[in-house]
């Protein structure tokens, strides 16, 4: 649906919004963007996040790479947040963090996509309690991994975390609901 320039602009706007929401979330620590794309890392730095150049190929290997780098720095709790959530807000991220309150570690907290099949955010404590398994039906994969690891598991339902942009239909819905994010202005 989008030409290369429109796609680039959309990715940049969503990345900037994601970083802004993360930085504004009470209780959030470091905000790190992992990407093999130098432009995305430059956008991240300009928006106030740390950039981590991904050297592996693919989403899940990149997340493991980032997790391992952060764990080496002593990070114990990790929130994995995709950059395609047009309704994302600091309140939604705070709801994700609050969902971990009262759970004993190890723990896994996730927010599903609007279809109830995917994972739109994932909180892990410790950061390496499970391997990230994003892709088709990742909600179920993450739940299985949490059970196998003996982790406390909770799901969060929050409208600001539920809509992601994976398909043309998702893009049309997001544009109808959140034109301020998706249209250049």
| Cβ–Cβ < 8 Å for 80, 52 | no
Each residue of 56-72: pLDDT tens digit? 999 999 999 999 999 88
Residue 1, Cβ density class (10 Å: 0-12 exposed, 13-18 middle, ≥19 buried): exposed
| Residues forming a β-bridge with 34 | 52
Is the pLDDT at 184 greater than 60, yes or no?
no
Query: How many angstroms separate the most distant Cα atoms in the chain?
Result: 47
For 38-49, what is the mean pLDDT?
97
Residue ranges of domains in the chain, CATH in brackets: 4-182 (3.90.550.10)
Each residue of 92-122: pLDDT tens digit? 999 999 999 989 999 999 999 999 999 999 9
Q: Any residues with CB less than 8 A from the CB of 147 and at least 6 apart, and which?
A: 153
CA–CA dist 88, 90 (Å, integer):
7
Is the pLDDT at 185 greater than 70, yes or no?
no
DSSP-derived 3-state class of residue 150? coil
Tokens 């991994």 identify what position? 145
For 146-155, what is the mean pLDDT?
97
């Amino acid at each position: 649906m989008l030409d290369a320039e429109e796609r680039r602009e959309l990715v940049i706007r969503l990345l900037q919004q994601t970083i802004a929401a993360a930085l504004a979330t009470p209780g959030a620590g470091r905000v790190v963007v992992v990407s093999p794309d130098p432009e995305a890392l430059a956008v991240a730095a300009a928006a106030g996040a740390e950039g981590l150049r991904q050297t592996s190929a693919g989403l899940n290997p990149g997340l493991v790479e980032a997790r391992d780098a952060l764990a080496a720095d002593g990070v114990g709790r990790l929130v994995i947040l995709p950059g395609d959530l047009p309704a994302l807000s600091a309140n939604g991220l705070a709801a994700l963090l609050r969902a971990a309150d009262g759970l004993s570690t190890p723990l896994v907290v996730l927010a599903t996509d609007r279809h109830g099949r995917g994972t739109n955010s994932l909180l892990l404590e410790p950061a390496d309690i499970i391997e990230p398994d994003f892709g088709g039906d990742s909600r179920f994969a993450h739940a299985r991994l949490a059970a196998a690891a003996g982790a406390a598991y909770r799901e969060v339902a929050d409208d600001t975390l539920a809509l992601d942009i994976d398909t043309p239909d998702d893009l049309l819905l997001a544009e109808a609901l959140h034109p301020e994010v998706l249209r250049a202005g």
